Structure 1
Amino acid sequence: MFSKFFINRPIFATVVSILIILAGIISINILPVKEYPAVTPPQINVQATYPGADAKTLSSTVATTLENAINGVENMTYITSTASPSGILSMSVMFEVGTAVEQAKVDVNNRVQLALSKLPTEVQRQGISVKERSPDMLKVIAFTSKNEVHDTTYISNYLTVNVIDDIKRIKGVGEAMVFGAKDYAIRIWIDPQKLAFYSLTADDVTSVIRTQNNQYATGSIGREPIKTVTPFTYSITTEGRLKTVEAFENIIVRSNEDGSTLRVKDLAQVKLGADSINTVGRYSGDPMIPVGIFLSPGANALEVSAALDKTLEELSKNFPEDIKYKIPYDATLFVKESIKEVIKTLGEAILFVIILIYLFLGNVRATFIPVMAIPVSVIGTFAGLYAAGFSINLLTLFGMILAIGLVVDDAIIVIENVERNLRTKDLKVKDATIEAMKELTTPLIAIILVLSAVFIPAALTGGFSGVMYKQFAITIVMAVVISGIVALTLTPALCAIFLKQHEPEPIWPIRKFNQFFDWSTRIFIGITKQTIRLWFFSLALFAILIYATYSIMKINPTGLVPTEDKGMLMVLTYMMPATSLGESKKITAEIEKQLLANPNVIGTGAITGIDIATFAYKTDAGIMFTKLKPWSERKLPEQKSQALAGQFMGQFMMTSKEAFVVPVNPPPIMGMSTTGGFEMWIQDRTGGSLHTLNKYTSEIVAKASQDSRLSGVRTTLNTNTPQYKLSVDNDKAKAMNISIDSIFNTIQSTFGQGYINDFNLYGRTFHVNIQSDSQYRATKEEFKSVYVKTKDNNLVPLSELTSLDRVVDASVIERFNMFNAAKVTGNPNIGYASSDATKAIEEIAESVLPEGYTIAWSGTTFQEKKLESEGNYTSLYAAIFVFLILAALYESWSIPLAVIISIPFAIFGAALAVFLRGLEADIYFQVGLITLVGLSAKNAILIVEFAMDKLKNGMNLLDATIEAAKLRFRPIVMTSLAFIVGTLPLAISSGAGSASRHIIGTTVVGGMITAMVIGVLFIPLFFYIVLKVKQKILKTNTKLDI
């Protein structure tokens, strides 16, 4: 017998356990720590720039060309594009979870290169970037200047030159992005009136600058091949690119015969300024430059955060005295607090389990034995996580908490059986232990196999749910396998040493508890007999329970993962369409003041000029990262982030007349969506106008605002943005001998921003741009003062060749999977779940949209829709695996049925508990169900295994069934209660991350209670009926060959 070796060699058994603990301790120190494993789908970002182009031009000339090329790349799930009025096109290509991101980037880049020649020349000159967009934003750092000694342009470039590169070199940092970077540029601010006076155009100035600010290859003197040998070879060097404002000012535009020259400074102001001013940042009222820090895949968030803090502290010693930094957003605060709360819950679970074990076993020595299984199994599991390439995250820690109740089960079963042998048989402790292990080795192995097998389908599932299941499943399997090893090695060795043949009488509370339990056992056996006697009535009750379970599961709201209080809010602001950046800044500042006045807010980081929902630069949008007080200082329900979001929503509806303000929680999983809530796309497959699409979208949003299930519903499409539509008289231009290219180049260089070439500063390369001075771009009347040149060098006012008409149209155009689309986002109202919100908006959309318009999902909602079908199948497959393992173990198709039929009791309890607490049946609920499949099967195995032994020893079927139920009732209740009290802290915990803990804790506690209280009454019945049916089939009343 396997365990006998360790009973005779207790030191050997101890050494094995110590080695497991040491391996776990070493692994803890090197495992990465994250909130979640890599569950976010890989995302490749393609960005193109077309200076001066509007959204419609970008969408029609650049987006469609690139989409046609990229669409269908391997493992792609969907593609979106956003054309903004700033001339920037941003495309996101989403892939299946688990796709190799580097290969995805190569595949996308290859297709972009094939399409490059089809794009406008100006887009090609600017270049197209293809890069992995890291979804894990670690921090946002706000850099400010005290008393505004330095402007934000200086701060931005100081960071670019002196800080950003150092941050990027930190191990684990995937990207350090300056939001709204104001890179230096030589700005040529031309005066159209002066150009006209000298009979010049913007094209003329651009041409001379491009020629005189260039890098030329000039060769060498005396370089081979050469006929005459020279002693030296000399390189010929030139000044190359210009470096100073003065040098650009002195570029010669025209030389006259009298020796006089016309220079750039005679026609324009030349300044060193910002390449673009798309955004304005403020931290708690002070101007700031925000820098987003993103993690590289697999990086340890806490280690990177610590290294980043250290690097910033060192770099700050050399900052100009006025430049300071603050951190308005830090993802590790939530991660640290969540892990801290989980570890606290872990400690509570261990304490509760120890108390329960002592209550049942009645003495310290016996209690010590199963308690030893906890550190060995839990700490040893970390070694398994390292071997599997996993991280320490919320899922693996949840798995360990659930495993606490499991890892002591096997040891409890061993001790209980040894003590029963000591009470009922005249055996020495060592002999009683050997006898117990003879009886238990097979059922222990069966339990280990079943609890491991139940998670095999979960571990093999692909996609988002597969990653979630796998982390959780493998953690529990590792803990169960290690606890099984302990139960077969260390536990019997300790029993032989610590247990006594005649234990002293337990203390009074323990005696009373044992008396109560003996009474409970008698009641249990009495009910069990009645359950078997009234088998038809019992089966009817079982059928009712199955129907009730189905009904509850149907009405339980669903979701992907719960919304957590992450210690911050994202406050989105939308001003009137076409509101200028300066005006938006004023409005945002007022909203910021109201936020800071709330006692639960400790800081805000505001960025005006960006729409976070589309990541498009828009002068009439903004976002504020609003940092809340620590969780320990916000314990009241009205202080939770969800409640504060609702309060701010109502407050701003009353006070903010110039902006639509939407406070939202961050997404539950960073990188899965931009904000929390649902993401729906309305696709126009008819090729109709954006105005028609906007009409239907607006109707949907209006109806959604009246639906009590929805909150904060909004759309990114707005075709009511005031614009001017430019029309060119091609016939007149042709008649005047003016090229169309020259007209548009002049317009772009005047009213847009013309890119000329580059210059070097501080070892970097920056742009040289040309544009009209601000007073010549203020009104449409300025078209009269801008001229184009005919091929005969005559000047013609732009106003003679063009016309401007006031129109309203979309400033941002989005596309989803090759079609023009409108993005609709929103949140479930208080008291409603994610599934309620998606169902509501889906019903509204179907009632409004005509034929040719369809809906699609993205972000978190996309994964949620996939999960709706995957989760239930995984639980079913888990039950099938359990059945097959037991069939192989018992060499019987009938015996496993008695085990499998007991599973619905646990599912009923789980569904009922979640329903009564008003929680969502999300991914954590599905994980809990899979766990319950194995746990409820374990209870049945204990009874079935002993009943089979009794049958083999000559008992009749009914007596064997009742005797097995009587013998195994105490260990079943004991192990079930150990699991329940071990996971109860999850269900009642508070603090950061409590929403996830509540769902998984409620699921398994509710399921195990019904499995223990109701299910255990039916397991003997199912065994009896299955064997009775087998007798009928075999037409024998004799002892069964099982």
Structure 2
Amino acid sequence: PDANTVDVVDKVKAMLPSFQDQMPAAAQIKLLNDRSTSIRQAVDDVQFTLLLTIALVVMVIFVFLRRVTATIIPAVAVPISLIATLGAMFLFGFSIDNISLMGLTLAVGLVVDDAIVMLENIFRHMEEDGLSAFDASLKGAREIGFTIISISISLVAVFIPVLLMGGVIGRIFNEFAVVVTVAILASMFVSLTLTPMLCSRLLSVTKADREAHSAGRHDIVTRAYDWLLSFCLRHTFLIFLVFIATAAASVWVIQVSPKGFFPQEDIGQISVTTMARQDISFDAMAKLQGQVASVFSKSPYVDHVAWSAGSGNNALNQGQLFVQLKGKDQRPNIEKVLSDLRRQLAGVPGIETYMQPVQNLRLGSRSSASAYQLVVQGLDTKQTDVWAQKLNDAMAADHTVFTDVTSDLQNNALQASLVIDRDKAAQLGIDTDTLRSALYGGFGTDQVSTIFGSADSYEVITELDPKIEWSPEHMLAIQMRTSSGTLVPLGAFARVDRTAGALTINQLGQLPAVTISYNLPQGVSLGDTVTRIDQLKEQIGMPTAISTSFAGTAKTFQDSLANQGLLIGGAILTIYIVLGMLYESFIHPLTILTGLPSAVLGAVVALRFAGMDLSVIAVIGILMLIGIVKKNGIMMVDVALELRRQGMSAKESIHRACLMRFRPIMMTTLAALMGTFPIALGTGASAELRQPLGIAVVGGLLASQALTLFVTPVIYVYFENFSGWLLSFSSRRSQPALHVVESGEQGSLFDGESEPKKVAAE
């Protein structure tokens, strides 16, 4: 179970030449299916994406700071954090795969955040206050240390619910959560220790730099933000309504958005199941299977095809094909390929073809003709079969929601029963062993002897001539010897009854069961099919004695759908608790979290514009957003609280805090954006799996950045005013009556002071 796919494939390939040497020259060994190819391509593409992400993040830092030394300082956090993360992966036994590399790529845009915040604060003191690099580093680190700890710990808190997840989804994303968590903690340690040290040694600010910074404080972007922020703080009720509308819209879009599971990957392989009529012979089935294989072989998109008919656990009327497509640069996307092949296969009469793309990430152990399974069960076999067929027909008729609908119900095949007249057989002296031996000798594999040669041995097996087209009636002509030594035909004491019977008998949990499988048309989500199946059950009037349940991938999706709300809610609650402990306040964490509605709204809207559903991967992206977007609020609130302690009003303190933190907020957001942008582009092998996460994060960052810079200050003012009113109200309610205790009275509280003290009356 702990084997590495790439390592196993390499070892098998190394053994093939030795096998080839032992085979005749006319026989050749060729690789039919190499899953390691798609894995290698995916890893290579993600590694390129990782390098591109690092380059983009460093570019963002350089654009804002405009000097090489200042750019190097936060960039150092990237390799150190990645090395620490790889070390943790080794200790945990994780391999380098799609999930872990996706976590590393996302971490690149996050690990520089702490270093950027630290560097920018130190740099600001050098530019504005004229401090030396050492003094500015010392002062800046003391000021911003708590902010960095708050940002990092609250971001790590997002992944606590993911780490506690059970089931298949939990096992997959535990690795992702550990990778990102270790990277963030490593970056926090670097930003609190190494970054201030490097700043004290490498940073320098000239008079020209200070003048440029002073001019930069009044550039067009800063002035525009200052004006818009002033407008928002003058019209707080209007902005509050915008916040309420955004929160309501975010809840609404999540409810109405189509829900999906994992995105469909295009690794260039197709699994095909064929099904013919239930009374077909093997020769006829093999002929039809060959025609289907010919259609695939003639397609310009197909590299090679392998097929079988009636083998393995399949019934005689079923077959399997494995189709290897050409590279992505030689064909269109997998949906276009499947559409063209379906149209061509429709011209092959007498056989139905069901195709599903092979996935690197396959959940559920059940195999079927199509990707998703629905199990129909009941106590009575006939009743179960009837209602399963009705539901199958209803689903097949709805082409807008379902495609490739079929079932494993095989109860209408021809069946021949040999009925023995025991009295006649007894009169002829033919017992059961004689009858069995005669039938087994004709249709079985009765080994009568062994011929030994000089080098090999050969088993001698008797059978009837396979060239004769046998029918049940021909069986009655088989001769067998009676007790008197004469030969009589089987028809002398037996007959053949033709009936309809089952090719396969299926049970689940010791109850009769029929599995209906289906695929999704393009643009339809798995959540839509779940809802539609419930509607179809009501339409056909399915009785309560018949139950349905999803199996395989569909069941895993249904389980994950039930946990999505708990996962998001648990992440928000965890962050609130962590921030509450850090700030020792119930209100300030709420202010910091006001950017979440806009982030969720932006993420879901971006997914819909991209034509994607709310998949499990997209939900993980939203969880990432919950941890990312609150850092803007943390940077604003931290400075505002410090200014409040200096005597500023709530409105004045948050206004100044926003302007002071405008540059680091823009830098960290753009760094996170650039870190996710290559993933959102969706290029390379298995990019379909990663792209929803990238699009969700990019859309959420853009929306939250546009609104948080204006909404959070307004909410801060409201909460500060509310806190002041609540404190004033509480003071008035609890203000005691006072009397003065003079010196010398019993209970005097002078304690040597020259003035009397006021003591609350009991």
TM-score for both structures, normalised by structure 2: 0.88
Structure 1 residue 677, shift from structure 2 partner: 5.2
**2:185 matched to 1:488?**
no
Distance 2:583 2:72 in 1: 33
Structure 1 residue 740, shift from structure 2 partner: 5.6
**2:558 matched to 1:854?**
no
Distance 1:505 1:1023 in 2: 34
The C-alpha deviation readout for 1:165-187, integer Å capped at 9, x for no partner, is xxxxxxxxxxxxxxxxxxxxxxx
Give the secondary-structure state (helix, strand or coil) at the position aligned to 2:28.
strand
Distance 1:846 1:760 in 2: 68
Distance 1:682 1:885 in 2: 44
Structure 1 residue 495, shift from structure 2 partner: 1.0
The C-alpha deviation readout for 1:664-697, integer Å capped at 9, x for no partner, is 212452463536954334434141328x715741
Distance 1:533 1:763 in 2: 101
Structure 1 gap segments, 5+ residues each: 1-296
**2:30 matched to 1:343?**
no
Question: 1:1013 pairs with 702, 706, 710, which one?
Answer: 706
Question: 1:906 pairs with 594, 599, 604, which one?
Answer: 599
CA contact (8 A) 2:403 2:518 kept: yes
CA contact (8 A) 1:750 1:772 kept: yes
Question: Which residue is equivalent to 1:558?
Answer: 259
Give the secondary-structure state (helix, strand or coil) at the position aligned to 1:722.
strand
Q: How does 1:337-486 map to 2 (within 5 A)?
A: 337-486=41-190
Distance 1:442 1:516 in 2: 25
In structure 2, the CA distance between the partners of 1:907 and 1:360, relative to structure 1 (3 Å rule), is: same
**2:32 matched to 1:328?**
yes
Distance 2:210 2:145 in 1: 29
Question: 1:622 pairs with 294, 319, 325, which one?
Answer: 319
Structure 1 residue 457, shift from structure 2 partner: 1.1
Question: Which residue is equivalent to 1:989?
Answer: 682
**2:502 matched to 1:810?**
yes
CA contact (8 A) 1:575 1:584 kept: yes
In structure 2, the CA distance between the partners of 1:434 and 1:626, relative to structure 1 (3 Å rule), is: same
CA contact (8 A) 1:947 1:960 kept: yes
In structure 2, the CA distance between the partners of 1:504 and 1:351, relative to structure 1 (3 Å rule), is: farther
CA contact (8 A) 2:377 2:546 kept: yes
Distance 1:893 1:766 in 2: 86
In structure 2, the CA distance between the partners of 1:761 and 1:863, relative to structure 1 (3 Å rule), is: farther
In structure 2, the CA distance between the partners of 1:302 and 1:759, relative to structure 1 (3 Å rule), is: farther
CA contact (8 A) 1:374 1:407 kept: yes
Structure 1 residue 1022, shift from structure 2 partner: 2.3
Question: Which residue is equivalent to 1:575?
Answer: 276
Q: CA RMSD in A?
A: 3.2
Question: Which residue is equivalent to 1:1026?
Answer: 719
Q: How does 1:493-532 map to 2 (within 5 A)?
A: 493-502=197-206, 515=216, 518-532=219-233
Distance 2:8 2:100 in 1: 20
Give the secondary-structure state (helix, strand or coil) at the position aligned to 2:310.
strand
Distance 1:708 1:758 in 2: 62
Distance 2:706 2:370 in 1: 39
Structure 1 residue 987, shift from structure 2 partner: 0.8
Distance 2:544 2:231 in 1: 62
In structure 2, the CA distance between the partners of 1:534 and 1:747, relative to structure 1 (3 Å rule), is: farther
**2:317 matched to 1:659?**
no
In structure 2, the CA distance between the partners of 1:345 and 1:1021, relative to structure 1 (3 Å rule), is: same
Q: How does 1:72-221 map to 2 (within 5 A)?
A: none
Distance 1:967 1:695 in 2: 68
Letter in 1 for 2:574: F
CA contact (8 A) 1:682 1:856 kept: yes
CA contact (8 A) 2:595 2:707 kept: no
Question: Which residue is equivalent to 1:308?
Answer: 12
Structure 1 residue 940, shift from structure 2 partner: 1.3
In structure 2, the CA distance between the partners of 1:800 and 1:1017, relative to structure 1 (3 Å rule), is: farther
Question: Which residue is equivalent to 1:58?
Answer: none
Name the structure where strand makes up a greater proportion of residues: 1
Question: Which residue is equivalent to 1:1001?
Answer: 694
Distance 1:763 1:547 in 2: 83
CA contact (8 A) 1:678 1:837 kept: no
Question: 1:693 pairs with 382, 385, 389, which one?
Answer: 385
In structure 2, the CA distance between the partners of 1:763 and 1:923, relative to structure 1 (3 Å rule), is: farther
Q: How many residues align?
A: 729
Distance 1:393 1:708 in 2: 36
Question: Which residue is equivalent to 2:586?
Answer: 893
Distance 1:1020 1:809 in 2: 74
Distance 1:790 1:900 in 2: 93
Structure 1 residue 941, shift from structure 2 partner: 1.1
Question: Which residue is equivalent to 1:825?
Answer: 517
Higher mean C-alpha deviation, range 841-850 or range 572-581:
841-850
Distance 1:837 1:758 in 2: 59
Letter in 2 for 1:945: D
Question: 1:952 pairs with 645, 668, 674, which one?
Answer: 645
Question: Which residue is equivalent to 2:333?
Answer: 640
The C-alpha deviation readout for 1:549-576, integer Å capped at 9, x for no partner, is 1221122222221111111222322233
Distance 2:712 2:123 in 1: 25
In structure 2, the CA distance between the partners of 1:503 and 1:866, relative to structure 1 (3 Å rule), is: farther
What is the aligned-residue identity percentage?
A: 25
Distance 1:945 1:769 in 2: 88
Question: Which residue is equivalent to 1:98?
Answer: none
Structure 1 residue 864, shift from structure 2 partner: 0.4
Distance 1:341 1:715 in 2: 39
Letter in 1 for 2:524: Y
Higher mean C-alpha deviation, range 973-982 or range 624-633:
624-633
Question: Which residue is equivalent to 2:246?
Answer: 545
CA contact (8 A) 2:273 2:369 kept: no
Question: Which residue is equivalent to 2:740?
Answer: none
Letter in 2 for 1:393: D
Letter in 1 for 2:500: V
In structure 2, the CA distance between the partners of 1:629 and 1:688, relative to structure 1 (3 Å rule), is: closer
In structure 2, the CA distance between the partners of 1:676 and 1:414, relative to structure 1 (3 Å rule), is: farther
In structure 2, the CA distance between the partners of 1:852 and 1:753, relative to structure 1 (3 Å rule), is: farther
Distance 2:360 2:4 in 1: 19
Structure 2 gap segments, 5+ residues each: 732-762
CA contact (8 A) 1:362 1:506 kept: no
Structure 1 residue 1005, shift from structure 2 partner: 0.7
In structure 2, the CA distance between the partners of 1:718 and 1:425, relative to structure 1 (3 Å rule), is: same
CA contact (8 A) 2:81 2:186 kept: yes
Structure 1 residue 476, shift from structure 2 partner: 0.6
Letter in 2 for 1:450: S
TM-score for both structures, normalised by structure 1: 0.65
CA contact (8 A) 1:562 1:668 kept: no
Name the structure where helix makes up a greater proportion of residues: 2
In structure 2, the CA distance between the partners of 1:313 and 1:675, relative to structure 1 (3 Å rule), is: farther
In structure 2, the CA distance between the partners of 1:761 and 1:928, relative to structure 1 (3 Å rule), is: farther
Letter in 2 for 1:892: S
Question: 1:679 pairs with 369, 372, 386, which one?
Answer: 372
Letter in 2 for 1:455: F
Give the secondary-structure state (helix, strand or coil) at the position aligned to 1:327.
coil
Distance 1:545 1:348 in 2: 34
Letter in 2 for 1:994: A
Distance 2:79 2:371 in 1: 42
Question: Which residue is equivalent to 1:261?
Answer: none
Letter in 1 for 2:170: G
CA contact (8 A) 2:127 2:210 kept: no
Structure 1 residue 722, shift from structure 2 partner: 2.2
The C-alpha deviation readout for 1:738-772, integer Å capped at 9, x for no partner, is 66676566545544556999999999999997654
In structure 2, the CA distance between the partners of 1:928 and 1:741, relative to structure 1 (3 Å rule), is: farther
